[in-house]
Amino acid sequence: MILSDRYELGAIIGTGGMSDVYEANDTLLGRSVAVKMLRPELARDVKFKERFRREAQNSGRLNHSAIVQVYDTGEIDISGTAVPFIVMELVHGRTLRDIVREEGAFSPADAARILVTACEALQASHDAGIIHRDIKPANIMITNTGAVKVMDFGIARALDDSHSAMTQTSAVIGTAQYLSPEQARGKMADARSDVYSIGCVFYEMITARPPFEGESPFAIAYQHVQEDPNPPSDFIADLSPTAALNIDAVALTAMAKHPADRYQSAAEFAEDLKRVSRNAVSQAARSHLTTTDAPRRGAGAAAGAAGAAGAAALGGAADTAATQIVPVAGAGVPSSEQAYPATEVVPPIQPTGASSPVDYSGGTYNNGYENGYSTDYNDGNDDGYEEDEPKKRSAATWIIALFTVLALCVGGYFAWDYIGQGLGLSSKTEKVPDVSGQKEDEAKAKLEKLGYHVEVVQQTNPDVERGVAIKTNPAAGSSVQSSATVTLFISSGKEVTEVPDLTGKTTEEASRLLEESGLELDPVVKEEESDTVDDGAVVSQNPSAGSQVSKGTKVVITVSTGKAQVRVPTITGMKWEQAQDNITSIGLNPRVANVDSDQPEGTVVGIDGEGTSVDKGSTVTVRVSNGQMIKAPSLIGLNVSQALDALRAAGWQGSNNSLHQQQVRTGALLDQGKIANQSPNGGALVRKDGTVTVGVFVFDLLAVQP
């Protein structure tokens, strides 16, 4: 099938809930593209066509390397139905959904590094006034070259479009596992809703499970509004306390119930993800570490803080009946066996019996209930409590005896303590507390308070932040005399090393050099074309050569793919303006040569190397008609006056003197004055202002045949 006389469809490379994606060949530009076509059975539905149109419109407005580019749109008639299609950039790779399914969880650093690019793409989208509204692992792809691509703006909405045709008050559009609380409640989404969704993606990438699971989309959406997720560190092995705090703080801040408690932009989220990618302390974790009593934005490492507003959002206390989520009448409930469902349409979650505005304060929410323990202790009648005199005397006797025994015990204790210490017999011991993860000053003070003599030793550690306690000797929980010496090990951070120069090296050579320096090669190797660096050699690196970094740091390299090859497009017959766009769009530099041609002025009559492959960036010569040529009419048998008229009618603009006449002797009197021959011949090309030579018969008696 060929669309728009240009796009030749190949095999189906992807399917979705509403469309199929084909690999196709752009026969005009000679490049491979992807064509996304709405399913014919859905093309008759106005709402589906509107959503499809929105995807093309929204994606076409965006220009970012991490957003799949839209080249063209159109429609094709299939059985009387106009079926729309979108022509897009063709990318080969796997979605995050497929990678997690097949390979399991990412390391937090790798996940963060990937999502930094996705956040930057979303920020570009938000800056253009568009929110995605359906961010999920299936809509983020890692290409075969390691690039990150954000896809499917099918339900995206302009930020200023408060009356979007895709916004429904009776239903929520999105994928339940990644739906923000405000979307789940049918409220207006904004850029921070995308931040929540990408926070859910981060959670799933590092744990291999979504933050919430349930038997239906409704049950899952309910949890997004009502419940707190388990901290992701619960599902990640071998994390130090500081690393766990760091990861939990970032994930749960992004997933805070109220938008005001989240990162306020995708760019802000990206900055903390960058810190996670290099094992630095995130801003969210720093806030948690430095602020103990004052309110703070985000969840930090405590999941309760991230979701405290969730219970309030449904307007019910913890001990009240759970809100029931009921499908719209007649609607079916999707199967729970679909681990990664397509985008769903579900009814918005509303609190049962709640008529007051939603309280997102995150503070105590008692729903108007009285305190069951608020009894007035002064309530009562003293007159009802009377004892007789013997009882009072008996009580006084017992009190005196009790104080006497207590005094003897206290005196005996101090005497034993004094004598025991003097003889070296004191056996007072304390259990060494666990101070790992605490700042040096806090840990030291806690140990000294128990009477220990503290000796501080600095120790390098790749997982514990500089200045934080690693362990003690004797170990935490050991019973030790209070006067003993306890060694406190404090992290001095990672051991520092210099980054080697990897430029020009192969990937294998770069990996070996990094290993020798105690560094690691990042598994995501970037690629780019280069006119100066050989194919397969390192073009650039990050961190740069000579930088001082901690041992164990991952170094990202960009490898040359050599000079790119592009196919010279077929542009003969196009207007120059259109042809120029086609040439420059694939990275070629056109050089115009105006040539004589009978084609209309400005028409391309040829291009060097048409249909062949050349280096990207090459200069190609394009021959463009100057419109100065015409086809000469046949003048044989006409007189000179008639010949001039015929030439003028054909577009000839020469003067009468430009029609050169030569005599041709003839013995035929009737041929006198007629044209015998011409140059150029009839049908040949001649410039509009060129010279035409004709031979005119002249009667000559000597030429008469006897």
The residue behind tokens 């904004």 is 190
* Alpha-carbon dihedral 40, 42, 47, 52, rounded to 10 degrees: -50
According to DSSP, the residues that pair with 473 across neighbouring strands are: 487
243 Cβ contact partners less than 8 Å away, ≥ 6 residues apart: 108, 233, 279, 463
Per-residue b or e along 627-661, where b marks 16 or more CB atoms closer than 10 Å to that residue's CB: bbbbebbebeebebeebbebbeeeebebeeeebee
Q: What is the Cα–Cα distance from 595 to 306, expressed in whole angstroms? A: 71
Question: Angle, to 10 degrees, between the axis of helix 241-254 and the axis of helix 108-127?
Answer: 20
Structure tokens at 409: 């015990």
Q: What is the Cα–Cα distance from 678 to 674, expressed in whole angstroms? A: 11
CB 678 within 8 A of CB 633: no
**Known active-site residue 134:** yes
Q: What is the Cα–Cα distance from 36 to 27, expressed in whole angstroms? A: 17
Radius of gyration of the chain (CA): 42
If we measure between CA atoms, which residue out of 507, 225, 450 comes closest to residue 348?
225
392 marked ligand binding residue: no
Q: Name the active-site residue from 20, 110, 127, 134.
A: 134
40 Cβ contact partners less than 8 Å away, ≥ 6 residues apart: 78, 79, 81, 83
According to DSSP, the residues that pair with 76 across neighbouring strands are: 83
DSSP 603: B
∠ Cα 352 225 159 (to 5°): 110
Sheet containing 675-679: give its strands across. Answer: 659-666, 692-699, 675-679
If one counts every other C-beta atom within 10 angstroms of the C-beta of residue 688, the result is: 17
End-to-end Cα distance, the chain: 74
CB 629 within 8 A of CB 687: yes
- Give CA separation, 22 vs 10, 35, 49, 137, 343, in Å: 6, 5, 18, 21, 21
> Residue 665 carries which side chain, given as an amino acid letter?
R
* Residues identified as active-site: 134
What residue numbers does the annotated binding site for ATP cover?
36
Q: Give the residue ranges of the annotated binding site.
A: 36
